[in-house]
């Protein structure tokens, strides 16, 4: 199935994205595949890992990519313990020289943050087989002096694990407080940073926060306390329950007088 997304009326006719849904059985394709892909000439391609959270500085990334004029840009972020990761080594100008997997001595404290911009020419490097873009494509681009590093400012976190998702959400809410505080919930009983969808219903005498996100159609009955929680669309938290560091799934129901701590995927 193929569909097309276009920008609003009056924008450039080239500003469109073709979407193709893969057919057939789900099989591992590595971290990059060029099956059934068409590229519009002279337009860059952006990609990002779905399990990272940050402020996503897309405009700054694009400006940096255009300025250096090479084939690819990788966003990098600083970590405290680089020995746990594969690190990126690059020049003062940002040109990536090499990648070092879990270094035993200090060579860099910058790691791949999982956000990229590529020129269409990258497709020539991708074969019709499962490939690892990190291990097979990026090193070749670096050897050809075609890969640059953009240093991310502010917070970043891998949120691929549920406990890390909760921590990452807290970091995001802190960033919202600093940059766009009007987005945060200011209703009765709120403590600290929280986001609440306008369609959510919150009862009397509740304590919301800190670091809570409440999705569309959620119902929180009277006397509920939630902190460091994500409550997804359509869930119900019944009266006088107490939740700390939990993720409540879509359309799930938490009963009355429940005490739940560090529970992921309440159903």
pLDDT digits (tens, 9 = 90+) for 26-62: 555 555 544 444 455 567 888 889 899 999 999 999 9
Indicate which CATH number applies to the domain containing 174.
Answer: 2.160.10
Please state, in angstroms and rounded to a whole number, the distance separating the CA atoms of residues 161 and 193. 22
Asked if residue 129 and residue 104 are part of one domain, the reply reads: yes
Last residue of a domain, one of 140, 158, 176: 158
Asked if residue 192 and residue 258 are part of one domain, the reply reads: yes
For the chain, list residues with pLDDT below 50.
Answer: 1-15, 17, 19, 33-38
Residue 100 lies in a domain: yes
Residue 19 lies in a domain: no
Catalytic annotation present for 23: no
Please state, in angstroms and rounded to a whole number, the distance separating the CA atoms of residues 231 and 60. 32
Last residue of a domain, one of 158, 175, 210: 158
Residue 23 lies in a domain: no
Residue 65 lies in a domain: yes
Domain of residue 184: give its range.
162-264
Asked if residue 246 and residue 179 are part of one domain, the reply reads: yes
Asked if residue 180 and residue 142 are part of one domain, the reply reads: no
| pTM (2 d.p.) | 0.80
Residue 10 lies in a domain: no
CA atoms within 13 A on the CB side of 61: 23
User: In the prediction, which pLDDT does 212 show?
Assistant: 98
- Contact status, residue 46 vs residue 58, Cβ threshold 8 Å: yes
Asked if residue 152 and residue 233 are part of one domain, the reply reads: no
What is the number of structural domains in the chain?
2
Residue 82 lies in a domain: yes
Among residues 23, 78, 84, 102, the one annotated as catalytic is: 102
Indicate which CATH number applies to the domain containing 82.
Answer: 3.90.550.10
Helices (H) and strands (E) in the chain, counts: 3, 23
Q: Tell which residue, 189, 192, 163, 193, has the closest CA to residue 176.
A: 193
Asked if residue 144 and residue 38 are part of one domain, the reply reads: yes
Residue 25 lies in a domain: no
CA distances (Å), origin 180, targets 72, 167, 214, 231, 247: 31, 19, 18, 22, 24
Asked if residue 254 and residue 171 are part of one domain, the reply reads: yes
Q: Tell which residue, 178, 176, 200, has the closest CA to residue 187.
A: 200
User: In the prediction, which pLDDT does 265 show?
Assistant: 67
252 φ/ψ sector (left φ>0, alpha ψ -120 to 50, else beta): beta
């Amino acid at each position: 199935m193929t569909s097309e997304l276009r920008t609003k009326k009056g924008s450039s006719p080239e500003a469109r994205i073709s979407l193709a849904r893969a057919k057939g059985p789900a099989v591992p394709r590595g971290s990059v595949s060029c099956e059934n892909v068409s590229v519009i000439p002279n337009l860059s391609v952006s990609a990002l890992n779905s399990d990272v959270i940050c402020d996503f500085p897309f405009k700054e990334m694009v400006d940096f990519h255009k300025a250096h004029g090479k084939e690819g840009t990788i966003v990098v972020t600083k970590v405290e313990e680089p020995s746990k990761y594969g690190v990126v080594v690059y020049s003062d100008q940002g040109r990536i020289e090499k990648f070092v997997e879990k270094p035993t001595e200090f060579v860099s404290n910058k790691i791949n943050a999982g956000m990229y911009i590529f020129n269409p020419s990258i497709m020539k490097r991708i074969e019709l087989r499962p490939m690892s873009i990190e291990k097979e494509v990026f090193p070749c681009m670096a050897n050809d002096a075609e890969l640059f590093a953009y240093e991310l400012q502010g917070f970043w976190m891998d949120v691929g694990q549920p406990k890390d998702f909760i921590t990452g959400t807290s970091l995001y809410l802190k960033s919202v407080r600093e940059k766009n505080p009007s987005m945060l919930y200011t209703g009765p009983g709120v403590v600290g940073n929280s986001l609440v969808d306008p369609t959510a219903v919150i009862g009397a005498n509740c304590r919301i926060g800190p670091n809570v996100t409440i999705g569309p159609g959620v119902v929180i009955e009277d006397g509920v306390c939630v902190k460091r929680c994500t409550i997804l669309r359509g869930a119900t938290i019944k009266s006088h329950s107490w939740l700390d560091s939990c993720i409540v799934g879509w359309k799930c129901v938490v009963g009355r007088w429940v005490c739940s701590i560090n529970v992921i995927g309440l159903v």
